[in-house]
Amino acid sequence: MSTTSLPVPDHAPRLREALLSAAFTADGLLDLLGAPAYAALARSETVPALRATRGAGVLETLVRLFLLQCAVPHEQARKALPLDECLADGWVSRDGDEVRATVDVRPYGGPEGQDWFIVSDLGCAVGGAGGASGQGEGVVLGVGGASTTLAGITIRTPVAAALDLGTGSGIQALHAARHATRVTATDLNPRALHFTRLTLALSGAREADLREGSLFEPVGSDTYDLIVSNPPFVISPGARLTYRDGGMGGDDLCRSLVQQAGDRLNDGGHAQFLANWQHVEGEDWQDRLRSWVPPGCDAWIVQREVQDVTQYVELWLRDSGDHRTDPARYAARYDAWLDEFEARRTKSVGFGWITLRKSGAERPSIVTEEWPHPVEQPLGDTVRAHFARQDYLRAHDDAALLADHFVLAEEIMQEQVGMPGAEDPEHVVLRQNRGMRRATKVDTVGAGFAGACDGSLSAGQILDAIAQLLGEDPVLLRDRTPQALRLLIEEGFLEPVPR
């Protein structure tokens, strides 16, 4: 599939104006379709949306044309679009008295209410007409769960230079354009770069520096303040589908990406990836991931899900539509995939987030954890705060910690758990209602300490008061508490008061 048949963005502002005028936006679609049909469309179920767009209005026409990929009458298309320009630029094609879209255009709401549009191959946006199943080599997908997850966890502080590696349809580049002076987007697939250009133009964003090539090869020795990548992380035998299969053995693509990122980051810069990794017999997955972290970088690695090899193979065979093919062919591909895992002693596959921060620290902080529980997106500020806390803890020994003042983080709830009518609770739980939504058990000292943290007293003064109340030796209490205090700070329950 070449780029010659794809639209050009010459008149994208005119098309954007028409789409916005018709309320072809995320909010407009919800109003038109209603919640059930809108949710069904997100599952690639089109019948409810077809029923909701049986009228001849402008918005109905646009939904049928660009989201449902139906042919629409020529006269309806002319009422909804600057049709001559759209035909000339290749956004639509005409067949007799009917007009069809040549690409999938999906409304996408930005984080501050922006009306954006993601352009992808027909049927390849989540909520498009057919989903990605059965699409061929070189296909460019639209918005999916992975891309929105990465957008949500990305740190959004202003930066001079950002890199979207493996840009696809340009979703991460579009987000980065809000807070980066210069955005570079790369992809091995030239079609993806063309779709990124269309996405940026139709969304009213400025152009990015688009470069073709694999991994960091297109950017040479350039360095960045922010690197983001939703790479083709699927661990598979071969590289049948560019959009998902890395083409390297096992999880080598994700490992290479992480290991090479350190040299491409400016001091203080962040690199944020989605990744899959192997759980290998006889190896600890956390040790395996720690070995990927480049020198001079702090890291926060969060495993969100683990699938055994059979679940993993079935997931991606369904993704590519292989379950709809000849049963013998499906079984052969399934078998080949299991052969690959067996040869690599892979028992399961993990999925999660990897964030690097180039700190230059002599003792880098590398935190690996399994967290399959619900979180509250966006998490960019939570990720940024994690590394700020690591800096704080690294710079404060136990004496400095006890001399400092703390407050309980916002929206922390204290729960007392015990039998009804009992005089004292069995245990006390501190629970976050934002961000990672962590919960941690604390003892009597921890509960009392958290309750007294309003910034007015130092940690040591609070512990002395607790020791007096409990009849404990204050020196011994000061000696045994800093480790627990560090954990509460690291996990975001306590925040140091700025001085």
Per-residue H/E/C for 169-192: CCHHHHHHCCCEEEEEEEECCHHH
Least confident of 38-52, 294-308, 480-494: 38-52
Long-range CB pairs of 254-259 (<8 Å, 24+ gap) are 254/292, 254/354, 255/292, 256/215, 257/165, 257/215, 257/229, 257/231, 258/292, 258/293, 258/294, 258/354, 258/356, 259/292, 259/294
Percent of the chain predicted with pLDDT > 70: 96
**pLDDT tens digit string along 262-278?**
999 999 999 999 999 99
**pLDDT tens digit string along 336-385?**
999 999 999 999 999 999 999 999 999 999 999 999 999 999 999 999 99
Enumerate the β-bridge partners of residue 95. Answer: 98
Cα(386)–Cα(432) distance, integer angstroms: 14
Model confidence band, residue 325 (pLDDT cutoffs 50, 70, 90): confident
Q: Is 90 exceeded by the pLDDT of residue 200?
A: yes
Are the C-beta atoms of 226 and 201 separated by less than 8 Å? no
**pLDDT tens digit string along 150-164?**
999 999 999 999 999
Model confidence band, residue 178 (pLDDT cutoffs 50, 70, 90): very high
Q: Is 80 exceeded by the pLDDT of residue 118?
A: yes
Q: Which of 98, 109, 101 is nearest to 128 (CA)?
A: 101
Q: Is 384 helix (H, G, I), strand (E, B) or coil?
A: helix
Please, where are the H alpha helices in 248-379? 252-261, 285-290, 309-319, 327-343
Percent of the chain predicted with pLDDT > 90: 86
Cα(458)–Cα(29) distance, integer angstroms: 54
